[in-house]
Amino acid sequence: MLIPVILLALALAMDAFAVAVSQGAAFRPSVSRAMLIAAAFGIAQATMPLAGWMLGISFTSLIQSVDHWIALILLVVLGGRMAWEGLNPAKGDEPRPLDGLALLTASIATSVDAAVAGLTLPLFGAPILVACAIIGIITAALSAAGVWIGKLAGDRMGKSAEVAGGIVLIALGIRIFIDHQFFGG
């Protein structure tokens, strides 16, 4: 029950990880700045799936018979977008130091997909608050590590992490679909 949530958390954290790597590579932030970046990404990533889940429970009776299709479509689209962006970086996608409003904006922007994924959390069978905490903790840890890795390895790894995260999201969507469609999960 927790393994799929951990895999989801790892996949969702890849956007934040990529930004953290670029911050580490470009600006060599202090330990306190790295922890601030990690905390901002972790908190946003923990709260956004909760918001998505709350929206989902409002419409439970409408989506219960097609929830596995919704999970498949959402996770494949999210994963495909992440992989595409990792393989095709946007022009002018230069990192900027994350302070104040820029950090808040970046943390929300990198966790929008977590809000959408929050719709699928009941399908994983873990308590929602536990799942959100796992997502937030993993994102914070990977973001802190991302800053450190960026300092050491440069920003090349960030896009590869996005591609890997996208592939994991697609695999999770397929797993949920197969489990619910063919095994009554």
pLDDT digits (tens, 9 = 90+) for 70-100: 777 877 876 787 678 778 866 665 556 778 8
Structure tokens at 39: 């905390």
Calculate ∠ Cα 74-87-78, nearest 5°: 10
20 phi-psi bin (left φ>0, alpha ψ -120 to 50, beta other)? alpha
pTM for this predicted structure: 0.72
CB 161, CB 74: distance < 8 Å: no
Give the side-chain half-sphere CA count within 13 A for 9. Answer: 28
Distance CA 134, CA 85 (A): 25
- Residue 30: strand, helix, or coil: coil
**DSSP assigned state of 20:** H
Give the tens place of pLDDT for each residue, 7-17.
999 988 988 88
